[in-house]
Amino acid sequence: MSIVTCKVSSIEKLNDFLYRIFLAPQQAVSYKAGQYVSVVMGEKDKRHFSIANAPSSEVIELHIGATPENSYAMQVIEKMQSDGQVEVEIANGEAYLREQSVRPMIIVAGGTGFAYAKSIIEQVVALKLTNPVHLYWGVKEQDHFYLEEQAKQWDETYQNIHFHPVVELADEQWQGAQGYVHQAVLKDFSDLSAFDVYVVGRFEMAKVVREDFVKQNGNVEHIYGDAFSFI
C-alpha cells in the first residue's frame, strides 16, 4: 500500500469531542465508498479512520472523535494541527459499498461511524442507485447526532433512503427508538436474509451485531464490516 502526503485543508470542531477534517492529497488517489485511511504516526504506528465522503471528491473528509483521555485520536489531531500535513494510506478495508448489488441495504453505525455511512450514502446518491437504504445511526445521548440534519435531508430528498436514529440513553422528550442500535434493526425486520448489511462501530459491537443478525436469517456473506477482520 503506497503512502500519500496530504495537506490539512481544515480542522473544524463540531462539538466537545468531535473534529471534522478535510485533507487534500498531494497526488491523485482512488478509493471505494466505505473504505478508510490509515494515518501514519510512526513506522509501526498507523491509526485508522473512516473516509466520510464519496470517491468523487478531490478531498478526504474525516470525522475524528478525540478527547485528552483518548490519546489514540487526540495525538492525530495534534499532529495535524502542528504539522499542517500527514502521511496516510488510502483505500484500506473490505467493507466497501457493493455497487453492483441490487439487494436492499442496512447500514448500522455507532457514534462517529456515521462517517462510514455518509461515504456509502453519498455514493448511492452519486450513482443514482435505487436500492432501499436503511441507515440506523446509534448514539449514547441525543446531542451526539452531530450531523443529524444531513441524515434527515437524505431521508426527505430520496425515496429509497430512510434514516432511523437510535438513542441509547434517551430522555423523556425523545420520541424515537431507544437502546442499542442493532436491536432497533431486529425489531423492524424479522427476516434479514434479503439484505446487504454494512456495520461500523467498536469491535465488541460489530461482533454482537453479526451474531444477532445471523440468528435472524442474516447471511454472513452479505454482512460487511472491517471490524470482523480483527475479531
Mean pLDDT of the chain: 95
Distance CA 202, CA 197 (A): 16
How far apart CA 104 and CA 198 sit, in angstroms, is 11
Q: Structurally, what CATH architecture does the domain formed by 105-229 represent?
A: 3-Layer(aba) Sandwich (3.40)
Q: What average pLDDT score do residues 110-118 get?
A: 97
Tell me the backbone φ, ψ of residue 228, rounded to 5 degrees. Answer: -65, -20
pLDDT at 31: 96
Residue 148 in grid coordinates:
443529524
Cell numbers placing 48: 485508522
Asked if pLDDT for residue 230 goes beyond 90, the answer is: no
Summarize the confidence of residues 146-158 as an average pLDDT: 97
- Average of per-residue pLDDT across 143-171: 97
Residue-wise pLDDT for 66-99, tens only, equals: 988 889 999 999 999 999 999 999 999 999 999 9
Containing H/E element for 207?
Answer: helix 203-215
When pLDDT is cut at 50, 70 and 90, the band that residue 43 belongs to is confident
- pLDDT above 70 as % of the chain: 99
Buried b (16+ CB within 10 A) or exposed e, 182-197: bbbbbeebeebeebbb
For the chain, what is the largest distance between any 2 Cα atoms, rounded to a whole number of angstroms?
Answer: 50
Phi, psi of 67 (to 5 degrees): -135, 165
pLDDT at 183 over 90: yes
Q: What is the pTM of this model?
A: 0.96
Residues of the chain with CATH 3.40.50.80: 105-229
Q: Per CATH, the architecture of 3-92 is what?
A: Beta Barrel (2.40)
DSSP state of 228: G
Residues forming CATH 2.40.30.10 domain(s) in the chain:
3-92
pLDDT at 1: 64
Candidates 106, 127, 8, 15; CA nearest to 61 is: 8
